[in-house]
Amino acid sequence: MSVEKRVADDLLFLLTYMASIATADIDRNELFKHTSEQKYELSIYFKRVYTLAAKWSYAYSRACKFISKKAKFVVLKEFFGRMASAMSSGEPEKEFLKNEMSTTESIYSNNYERSIEALKKWTDGYTALLISTTLIVMVILLSTMLYPLGEIHQTAFVISLVMVVICGIGVFTIRDAAPFEFRVHSLETGSKEQEIIKLLCRALLPAGFLLTLGLLLLQIPLGYIMIVAAAFVAPIGVMAVIDDGKITDRDFDFPAFIKTLGSLAGTMGTNPNIAMNHLDRETVGSLEPLVDTLHKSLSLELSPSLCWERFIKDSGSELMNRCTRIFNDAIKLGGDPAEIGRIVSSSSLAIVLLRMKRKPVSANFAGLVMLLHLAMSALLIFIIEIIVAFNNALTEMFESSGLAEGVEGGVADMAGLAGSFGSTSPAELIFLYQFTIASVLILTIADTAALTVADGGSKCKVFFYGAMITAISGLVMLVVPVLVSTMFAINV
């Protein structure tokens, strides 16, 4: 993931925080002190500005200019440079930060949309790479029927290595092109679905690993093993997808909720905790259960900070985690609730709308890759099964007709259709079958990784896509050989 994208994401939230607390008309020392205490990667730069000004008696304009020269990232250099100029000219921090946040939102949106366009192109490119790598394996398999390829083991190793490199480049490129975002917070406790995921991981992953290992030792057909493995991780993946959908809905309803709450508190001239009593909780959409719990907790006169912390944890959303903390911190410092609500709502709404543009791209890519994986895996297994079927049929023909007795070397040198054209032995034929299975497994891993990074969100969604792709591969390994043996049965 590009470092510049992560920096731009952090800068947007830090500017949202600074613009919000600036409504409390605090001095520069407090502004930079509170900003430097936030848990963002870029907070260290604001701490340096605060240290230079508060501890080393630098003017804030000079401190910002100094840090702008030392910052590693271009966006930070430009921001601190503009801030130094604004402070030198006497522009109020409140107005500067509000304008800067609006500008940063526009830049962030533009970069996000460009990332989406790049993601579209590279997902198309990945499907082309997927087809190309499959064709390479098909050519190798078909070539063995016509002429000897020399050292088949060395050839197979090189082709496998090429597949790994090509698929790895495709996955890495999609990951680099995809927009940067954190949807799920990393707090100790999360939403109900996230807690269920933790329990499922503790129970299903060890059990699934042990059962899969046992099936391998018992030499059960690989198709069955892959289906069993998929069945064990599928519940985790399904729950992750459900959680991702609920987080998406909560994020969508959050901007309106926080803006309404801020406006209500500002109009009543009170704090949001009291204004919560007058909020129409039926209009908050998917946030209604969380808001109801928050309201009941506040009504019992529990610690407001603990009540809001519970609200954040139960949401499971990193967006709500950051924006809610910004809202509450600014309120505690004495900022205008209505203005703070508008600032936080504007920032969060911009991110939500951008994420909505990404979803169709990843959904279409997921459907296409699953269909291609089914087709490509089935085609590879189909070809190797045809080679094996003809090999067995030809061997039976020579054995039953007695032709092999007149051929120097006997049946061993005549075994297989491939052997009749080239020099493929039964041992090499088994190796080719293993090579085909290995190719399908490489595609399975690569497709799972590509779908996960294209979709973004919770890392646990890798279990969902992994279960889907693995189950497809397992079914192909079980069904295609049966179809081939039925379609190409030869009665001699």
The per-residue pLDDT for 146 is 64
| Sign of torsion over alpha carbons 351, 357, 361, 362 | positive
In angstroms, the CA 106 to CA 100 distance is: 10
- Segment 239-270, tens digit of pLDDT: 999 999 999 999 999 999 999 999 999 888 88
The yes-or-no verdict on residue 446 having pLDDT over 90 is yes
Q: How confident is the model at residue 410 (pLDDT cuts 50, 70, 90)?
A: very low
List the alpha helices (DSSP H) in 218-336: 222-268, 272-275, 288-299, 304-315, 318-332
What is the rounded distance in angstroms from the CA atom of residue 347 to the CA atom of residue 134?
Answer: 45
Name the residue with tokens 């910052």. 71
Q: State the pLDDT at residue 401.
A: 62
* b/e sequence 78-92, b meaning 16+ C-beta within 10 Å: ebbbbbbebbeeeee
Binning pLDDT at 50, 70 and 90, where does residue 392 land?
A: confident
pLDDT for position 5: 79
CA 183 to chain centre: 10
pLDDT tier, 399 (very low <50, low <70, confident <90, very high otherwise): low
CA pair distance 225, 228, nearest whole angstrom: 5
Q: How high is the pLDDT of residue 328? A: 93
Instruction: Name the percent of the chain lying above pLDDT 90.
Output: 54
Domain ranges within the chain, ordered by starting residue = 3-91, 120-248+359-487, 250-351
| Beta-bridge mates of residue 184 | 317
* pLDDT tens digits for range 476-487: 999 999 988 887
* Tens-digit pLDDT profile for residues 101-135: 988 999 899 989 999 999 999 999 999 888 888 88
Cα Dmax for the chain = 105
Which phi and psi (to 5°) does residue 422 adopt?
-120, -130
- Rounded CA separation 246/193 (Å): 9
Task: Reduce the DSSP state of residue 317 to 3 states and report it.
Answer: strand
